[in-house]
Structure 1
Amino acid sequence: MQAVTRFLLVLCLVCGLQAMAVAVTGPVPPGIKEEVARTIVRVRSGTKYSTGFFWRDGRTVLTTLHSLSSGGDIEVYIPAISGWRSARLRKVYRGGDLISLEVQQYASPHYLSQHYTSRPPVDTRVFTVGYNGGSAAYIDRDFSVGLLQGNRLADLLPVAARQEIQALGFPSLAIQIIYLQGSLLHGFSGAPVVDQGGRLVGVADGGLENGAADISWCIHASHISQLETSNETLPSLNSPRLRNLFAYEEYQAPTESVEYTSLGNFRFRRIKTRSFSQLDFTGKYSTSDAMGLQQLLSFFSNYGYNLGQFRYDIYLEESTGATVVVPEGETLRQENGKLVCGDNRIRLYIDLQVTNNIQYTSQVFEGTFNHPAINWMADVAWTYPMPFTGPTGSIIRRKAFMGNGQQYYLFEALAGKAQYFLGAAAFRNSMQMAPADYEQWAQYAIAIQLTSFSN
């Protein structure tokens, strides 16, 4: 009996975890994550990389179909031997976005073999272990099972994303998924999502981009049986829809460290760079009914700006899901307890805090811009009449203010989720701006509209 199963069997006999019918919400028992980590591998296919894990017999690796390249060799990095091994494609299940690989010249003594056949209760604590971006070492991520009206992929995704997946041809919109409260990191596609008893809940698949944010879910583990009996062949994997819909990254040499931008105890990591056209492709900002943004896009388009070519760096605070958007190449720096970029003409401000009173904390953030020489007045044309509640429970309100007529201007995004407050603002000092600077202002203003919480 492999080590993972033996360890979990003892734990289940002692604690009765497998028999529990309610959500498990406490800390992960000691040793579980370490045991699961021993099953993890890094998968490289052409220019793409993902995570995978040993399953059943120690020679089979499961991962996601969308992270596979057409043609070319497949390699698996095995931490236990600090080396790569060739792998061949064994099975393909398009509907579940799953593949299985057979590793050559290696059999792992550590593999997963037990999985859920029913749905875990809402709020069940789960976790995964995977490779993030170019990092040379795997890391863990904690989640909870979210509440979703329905259990299919189609029930989670916006209409635009469903249409793109239908055009792509996989995965099936009818596939059973588990919605995850939390943000899957880039490179985690194919990682095992397990409960606190170590049983497989699903396979991480939530690479779908939703504009600046991402939507996270896993394919229900019960679909592995369909993979194991499938006789399907590979679909086309060269579609540009793959690059726009899924949050995989092109392969890069692993790095020993990951650079973060810190704000207090929070750490932001740049996870991707996208043009507004790419963000709009997945988020459908220009055709949505979101208050303010569509009108703002129309307003700036009247000046002849090519909004689609605006490029943005997207930063994620991994523990909270706070997603911050800044113009490409701008360096975030700490200043007076906030992250800022820009100069005295145009400046962007970011704040993230833990609070038990989001309304009060948002008022404190807004007080940052009070100045005796500036008389602010609300610009109702660009202000939400009331806060907007997102589908995952986050609350956001966007505001705009004019100072001393049009000498100064301020766009704000005030968001709250659970105990976290996220504030973002774009400030303009018209007296120091040249006419050519207003296109840059448009880019900053749109960035504020894109800043929010993922998931």
Structure 2
Amino acid sequence: MQLTRHGTQAPHGTQAPHRAQLPHGAQAPHGTGAPRGARRALAALAACATLAAHPAASQPSREVLDGAAPAIVRVIASGCGGTARGGTGFAWESAGQIVTALHVVAGCDTLRVNFQGIGERPARVARLFRPADLALLAVDQPPTLTPLLASTRIPVGETVMVFGYGLDTSTREERPLYVTTASTSTPLLSDAVNAEARTQLLSLGAPALETEILRVDGNLLPGHSGAPVLDAAGRVVGIGSGGLQRGTVGVGWAIRARYLAELARAPALADGRAPGLGTAPNSPGYATLVLGAGALRARCGQLDFIRSRTGLSLATLVASSDDQRGFQSIAMTAGRPWDVLAAMQFDIWTEQRSGAGVAVPAGGTLTPQAHGCTARWANGLVDLFVSGADVPAANDPTWPMAVELTTSAFGNAWAQEFLPFLQIDPGFSYGPPRSGPGGLLINRMTFIGQRPGQVPHAAFQTLLAKGNATIGVAAITRHYPYPMTPPPDEATYRAWVAAALAAYLSTVPP
């Protein structure tokens, strides 16, 4: 992607500023301009409660999900070439027969299946069907339960549920997915991936590019490998498999349930162990939905985050930005060539319920504080502040007020040390918030300020609201270089640029 001045716009549609710093301010702010403008922007975020969302009438009911739950298990694999893996599986046709994704168990010495509320059972690989990335596990002395049934129907245009152990949680959870029309018009895996991911998949050897998939929008997360995707009747229509690492929340797909018949006809394995898959080239295109053991976790405000992916380049993250023109405008003001910015590395911290992806400059760790989490660079000159809060469901009449209160609390938490010398910069701030797929609300604001006799400071804030969660991400610099003043040093300035771009790219899946 080329970042040029020609044809770009600032996020709110204003003309792109001709500055080399990030963010831009027409003049040094003064006085107490922050609270009123910030409150208006925060209130506007909560005011947009009525949004277009994917249809939900066909999704599984609570009764259906409760009936399916006992058959859904956590798969724990160890001795996998020096690593451990976590995924999901489900009982199919009998209680002792567990389906999961092949890449969860391939090359692993020891397998365990955890039946929630009952306990673990040892397992072995009984059969595998490599083209569809499926494995069938045999479990000794399984508990009494009703296995799931499968359907070959393609629920295009419907809201289905992936039910499993996303982000390696200890309890199973369901998450909505929307089956896109691409599942019938371009149903093959080869149609859903780019050239980079095709190379990786060919090297791994599973799943095959000719495999039929369900293309979905929504919260397919690490840990959902092998998880059942359920239709309104509670039947398995897909099995969680993989995705593209196109951004902070990725893009996922599920293997069509019709391949379960192929799995049942596959030859039995004599030694109970699935051989390892091939070695994928070092490329960020494709991501399995397996979560390795030992992932970092942090509770930020009222929500839990886990470091789910590491070392993604800015160029990879930009591919799924919800506001490409706004990103180009803010990135070009950094005063650094695009190849320098594109090479910046980021880790992704995923919020466990909403699936929101928060970008953090590589190596930064979210450390819990009183009101959220902070990652810090340059001896405290640059911070990234992250926090989340529970809110009622979006269809609850109290939702707009809850969003306003929680996002206001987020702004107050990081801004206290800078008040009253803080002011919104309209050049890099939305006016009203914007709506995204599936009921997402998003607002971005830039603040600048300067205490008398001290160096200027600045912050870039992204506010997200969807469903039962609000999330805020704020990049803060305590030494902001105005156009005529150089940055304190290049490393500090790059840390600030990276933090601001990370805040801009954080989002929630559709």
TM-score under structure 2 length normalisation: 0.65
Could you tell me how far 1:82 is from its partner in structure 2?
3.7
Classify 1:332/1:311 alpha carbon distance in 2 versus 1 (closer, same or farther; 3 Å).
farther
CA displacement at 1:204 relative to structure 2: 1.7
Answer yes or no: is 1:114 the counterpart of 2:149: yes
Instruction: Determine the structure 2 residue equivalent to 1:356.
Output: 400
- Per-residue CA deviations over 1:364-397 (Å, capped at 9, x if unaligned) read 65566485652525151x4457655434442323
Q: Distance in 1 between matches of 2:279 and 2:149?
A: 34
Measured against aligned partners, the alpha-carbon deviations of 1:49-76 in whole angstroms (never above 9, x if no partner) come to 333334335665432244464xx45543
Q: Identify which of 189, 192, 196 aligns with 2:228.
A: 192
Distance between the aligned counterparts of 1:90 and 1:156, measured in 2? 20
Aligned to 2:67: 32
The match for 1:374 is 421
Q: Which residue of 2 aligns with 1:100?
A: 135
Please, which of 80, 84, 94 is the counterpart of residue 122 of structure 2?
84
C-alpha separation between the residues in 2 aligned to 1:173 and 1:389? Answer: 36
Paired amino acid for 2:90: F
Looking at structure 2, the residues matched to 428 and 245 of structure 1 have their Cα atoms a distance apart, in angstroms, of: 34
Alignment CA distance shift 1:186-1:236 (3 Å): closer
Quote how far apart the aligned CAs of 1:289 are: 6.8
281, 287, 292: which is aligned to 1:240?
281
Deviates more, 1:139-148 or 1:167-176: 167-176
Which residue among 214, 219, 223 is the counterpart of 1:177?
Answer: 214
What code does the residue aligned with 2:502 have?
A: A
Q: Shift in Å at residue 189 of structure 1?
A: 0.2
- The alignment partner of 2:62 has SS state of coil
Structure 2 residue 107 is the aligned partner of structure 1 residue 53:
no
1:91, distance to aligned residue in structure 2 (A): 2.3
CA contact (8 A) 2:225 2:241 kept: yes
Is the Cα–Cα contact under 8 Å of residues 441 and 465 in structure 2 kept in the other structure?
yes
Q: Contact 2:228 / 2:239 at 8 angstroms: preserved in 1?
A: yes
RMSD: 4.5
Equivalent residue for 1:402?
A: 448
Structure 1 counterpart of 2:175: 143
Residue 492 of structure 2 aligns with an amino acid whose one-letter code is D
1:451 Cα deviation (Å)?
A: 1.4
CA contact (8 A) 1:154 1:173 kept: no
Which of 267, 270, 294 lines up with 2:328 in the alignment?
A: 294
Distance in structure 1 (CA, Å) of the matches to 2:286 and 2:98: 24
Which residue of the other structure, out of 359, 362, 366, is the alignment partner of 1:325? 359
Partner of 1:429: 478
In structure 1, the residue matched to 2:34 is none
Look up the equivalent residue of 2:194 and give its one-letter code.
R
Q: Which moves more between the two structures, 416-425 or 441-450? A: 416-425
**How much has 1:194 moved relative to structure 2?**
3.5
1:447 aligns with 2:481: no
Distance 1:440 1:180, change over 3 A: closer
1:162 maps onto 2:212 in alignment: no
Letter in 1 for 2:250: D
Provide, for residues 416-440 of structure 1, a one-character-per-residue CA deviation record: whole Å limited to 9, x for no partner: 3245432222122227973242122
For 1:158 and 1:399, the matched residues in 2 are separated by 39
- In 2, the alpha carbon distance for the partners of 1:417 and 1:209 equals 22
Runs of 4+ with deviation above 6 angstroms? 104-109, 155-160, 233-236
Contact 1:426 1:448 in 2 (8 A): yes
Distance between the aligned counterparts of 1:25 and 1:111, measured in 2? 17
Name the amino acid aligned to 1:356.
P
Say if 1:152 and 1:176, in contact at 8 Å, map to a contact too.
no
User: What CA distance in whole angstroms lies between the structure 1 residues aligned with 2:74 and 2:372?
Assistant: 37
CA contact (8 A) 1:116 1:222 kept: yes
Partner of 1:416: 465
TM-score (norm 1): 0.72
**Aligned to 2:304, which of 242, 249, 268?**
268
Opposite residue 488 of structure 2, the aligned amino acid is A
How far did residue 246 of structure 1 move? 1.0
Shift of 1:408: 2.0
Judge conservation of contact 1:410–1:426 (CA < 8 Å) in 2.
yes
* CA offset digits 1:291-311 (Å, max 9, x no partner): 333344444472799546644
Q: Deviations over 1:334-364 (max 9, x none)?
A: 33x4444437532333343424255686566
SS of structure 2 residue aligned to 1:186: coil
Compare relative contact order (CA 8 Å, sep 6+) and give the higher one, 1 or 2.
2
Partner of 1:9: none
Q: Is the 8 A contact 2:298 2:368 kept in 1?
A: no
After superposition, the Cα gap between the structure-2 partners of 1:43 and 1:282, relative to the gap in structure 1 and judged at 3 Å, is farther
Do 1:75 and 1:87's aligned partners in 2 also have CA atoms closer than 8 Å? no
Deviation at 1:447, TM superposition (A): 1.7
1:251 to 1:426, Cα distance in 2 relative to 1, 3 A: closer
Query: Which residue of structure 2 aligns with residue 334 of structure 1?
Result: 369
Contact 1:40 1:52 (8 Å CA) reproduced: yes
- In the TM superposition, 1:242-257 aligns within 5 A as 244-249=285-290, 251-252=292-293
- Equivalent pairs: percent with the same residue? 20
Residue 59 of structure 2 contacts residue 160 of structure 2 at CA under 8 Å; is this kept in 1? yes
For the residues of structure 2 that align with 1:270 and 1:89, how far apart are their CA atoms? 33
Secondary structure at the counterpart of residue 413 of structure 1: strand
| Unpaired runs of at least 5, structure 2 | 1-55, 268-273, 392-398, 482-486
Please say if 1:345 is aligned against 2:377: no
1:129 corresponds to which of 164, 176, 192: 164
Give, in whole Å, the separation in 1 of the partners of 2:121 and 2:445: 53
Structure 2 vs 1, CA of residues 395 and 106 (structure 1 numbering), >3 Å: closer, same or farther?
Answer: same
- 1:213 CA displacement: 1.4
TM-superposition CA deviations, 1:139-192 (whole Å, max 9, x none): 2111234263432596899999433343334554772416364x3442220122
